[in-house]
Amino acid sequence: MAEAANCTVDIEMDEHSRAADGAWVGLEERKGKGRGRGKGKGQPHPKSLEDFQSLGFKVLEWDGMRAELDFSEGPVVPAPYKGCSKNRRGKFKTASFGVSYGGGQSIPRELSPSAHNKKVLETLKQNPDFQRVVKHGSSMFAHYAPRLYNYYSKTFASLKKSQPELELPVFGSIFSTISINLAPQVVAEKHKDFKNLAYGFCNICAQGSFNPKQGGHLVLWELKLLIEFPPGSHMNILSAIFSHSNTSLQAGETRFSIIQYSAGGLFRWVHYGFRTWHAFEEQEPKEASMEWDGRPTKWQEVLGLFSNISEF
């Protein structure tokens, strides 16, 4: 690995906070915003590299090999990255597997793909090359945010003890869910993955054949950054907090992506004693009241799970 570098950006995180009270998940953007529909007045979002540059976005060159750190003014390191059908994220199909909780589920469960997809995904999970790609994302996580990584590990160990039938999607991965975005050209539209753990990492691995100097950049909207994202490289971002997308590709190029993440609902479920908030409130009203009162400042506590730049 080449010598690490860093990029400092000037942003007040409290002004751009998108975490719900309790800091378990992000906040869903209002319809008509952040989903390729402009600002509700019919203006299209910028798509090409030139479109973003004309709006003052800064291009951060990256060869896919050098380790980089993006961080706001201050000690917290939120986003390390390192080499090696229509939905709200874009015009592509997604195959997902792993453990999740939310969307009306009564308890955490493993996702249930179709019979055909399940057979394909089971074969993929056993592929050593795929396993290596997936584990690389977890290795990045453990290196750059060891306290947060340990929090993930302890949380899932507790969940596993409560529900032994649950398994992480790939042995050796710390993330509870993996999604594979599939299309000839996977170009994500502006969005936030608000159901992910608000202070948790989402690992993105770009794949395909494209010129990263001309397209496929990771766009971080609040930071006004365009990060070159070469095929085969990984990035960890706070996807529930930061709006993100990709710049468009050139004709004839291909791109797909492997995404690893964990639902905030899983952590909330474990924290509340393996039950819903309503069950927690009914069974332990005093403790639930204290928990409720502390929700607005919960995000301040979780900052300590991130690493200080001086630790590196």
- Chain mean position to CA 285: 33
Specify the pairing of strand 218-220 against strand 93-100: unpaired
Q: Report CA-CA distances (Å) from 292 to 22, 240, 274, 285.
A: 8, 21, 17, 10
- pLDDT at residue 195 tops 90: yes
Q: Which residue has the higher pLDDT, 90 or 40?
A: 90
Domain boundaries, the chain: 5-311
Domain 5-311 adopts which CATH fold?
Answer: Double-stranded beta-helix (3.60.130)
Q: Out of 12-21, 30-39, 47-56, 216-225, pick the least confident.
A: 30-39
Does 37 have pLDDT greater than 50?
A: no
pLDDT for 67: 66
Q: What is the mean pLDDT of residues 155-163?
A: 97
Instruction: Categorize the per-residue pLDDT at 90 as very low, low, confident or very high, splitting at 50, 70 and 90.
Output: low
The model's pTM is 0.85
Mean local confidence (pLDDT), 25-32: 68
Question: Residue 95: its pLDDT value, please?
Answer: 84
Q: Is a pLDDT exceeding 80 seen at residue 228?
A: yes
**Rounded to whole angstroms, how far apart are CA atoms 226 and 271?**
36
Residues in the chain: 312
The answer to whether 14 and 180 have CB atoms below 8 angstroms apart is: no
Residue 72 pLDDT: 46
